[in-house]
Structure 1
Amino acid sequence: MSGIADGRIVIVTGAGRGIGRAHALSFAAEGASVVVNDIGVAADGSDPSSAPAQQVVDEITAAGGKAVANTDDIADWEGAQRLIDTAIDTFGSLDVLVNNAGFLRDRMLVNLAEDEWDAVMRVHLKGHFAPMRHAASYWRSESKAGRERDARIINTSSGAGLLGSIGQGNYSAAKAGIASLTLVAAAEFARYGVTVNAIAPAARTRMTEQAFADMMARPGDGFDAMAPENISPLVVWLGSSESSDVTGRVFEVEGGKVSIAQGWRHGPARDKGERWAPAELGPVVKELLSNAIEPEPVYGA
């Protein structure tokens, strides 16, 4: 098996099912050695199992590729370190980290419980930070030892994180945090030969199958726009050596469509040169709003 990722050593978190599984299979098909990470829980977070990760490993090896399973909790500090160590101990190095794992605890904000907020923040936000932190420490050590790196981190944000989504305040906040974390990491890790980008995918998974049920391909359409496999080609390209000049970007991916998300930017401004009085600001704010670009609507609004 060879291709655009030939010889690359890749970790994919949450790779036992859905988009993560598609990433793992696609990297392997393009020549990468893959660490398939998944704790194998049910949609409600219960019943952890090694079976989903191992099944993906078995698919890869049956096709002639190289893969190993890892079932560590990526939001656990020591577990995230063990995940990075699995790649290094098994394949001798690490080139690409794809942070993909996550789940949903959807509620309107007025009904959202503290544990539902905490769980989503832990899995999505800390579950991105912890593996990224340990991977970056490894690459920094390599760089200081004079071993030039060509490494990649690909994070997973969401349209909900970019625009917000009704009923998903916790998920939207976590995914927005991932987008911002990506920008900071891209700036900080460049000196070690590491690029950091993010994707905001739209595809059918366990988390989204109900939302996208009416968007599945109809008989005769031929192309399933919501298939998770549609997301992986961009991720594999971002993990390849070809993407070395692309960093600090967020890409939206859906079906056959790839686009660049345009984030927060400085807009219209008025500078008085001294402190404003509250009563002065009404017409100033109205003027600024009249000259500003209208924001995209929140999903579900």
Structure 2
Amino acid sequence: MTDQKVLLVDGMALLFRGYFANSYGGYIRKTKAGLPTNAVFGFVKYLLDACKTFNPTHIVCCWDLGSKTFRTDKFEGYKGNRPDAPAELIPQFDLVKEVVTGLNIPNISFPGYEADDCIGTLSKQLSAHMDVLVLTGDHDMLQLVDERVKVIIMKKGPSNYAVYDSEKLLEEKQLTAKQFIDLKGLIGDTSDNYPGVKGIGEKTATKLLIEYLSIDGILENLHQLPKSVKTKIEADLEMLHLCRELATISCDAPVTCLPDECLWQPDQQKIFALFEELEFNSLVKDVSRFIAVS
């Protein structure tokens, strides 16, 4: 058998990407019965392409469950700027999980936790047994990179990936995975709607982390900082600590998945039947060459 490696899939990242990539000019792919399927179609295409590209022996798909998490308990505005999901996407939330089950891939989630936390937790559990690949479009996941964990960022266009290990992260971002948490604590995250330290941008934050290694190191050396930077940090000290907490992916969420439970063993005939039911005809004729063989 080839070397074992598990693909941990950020389900919502693929689903939303699939929706917007397959809604050109307002056209929404639907079955003859009127069920919207454009997001699920895109999701499957992205997933199968990743299987073809990275040849995982195991796969898990992780999901967000809703807007209320332990982070919204800490900061009410967390992700408060997110627009409502498009109406045609809503029925596809349940449908995509049915499709994932049909592909013999486990769906993992837990109330109060985000998909990021499930992925972080499973990356720690499964890296004890095999290499881990995290498939996402979310740069927050870069904090999970370690000796046996690589993060695959999906970029625009088919089969276009940026694969980060520790060396690539340091080379491109000038930071370690752990420092990436502190970066978000300093600069915040507009997509997740937490502010960080007002007036501190990525360039300044990166420079500070390179010199002082961490937020704690920066705070221990506040007296050495330029007055303007020192003033900004002192004015937002409480928010800085809160944003670092919000940015930190939990790696002890109450989820588990054993290697035997996520072995990638697709049933081609089952998949053919599933795709025919969803009227994914172009995928039916191509699926056999996409499926990775254990």
TM-score (norm 2): 0.30
Instruction: From the two aligned structures, give the one with the greater helix fraction.
Output: 2
TM-score (norm 1): 0.30
Higher RCO (CA < 8 A, seq sep 6+):
2
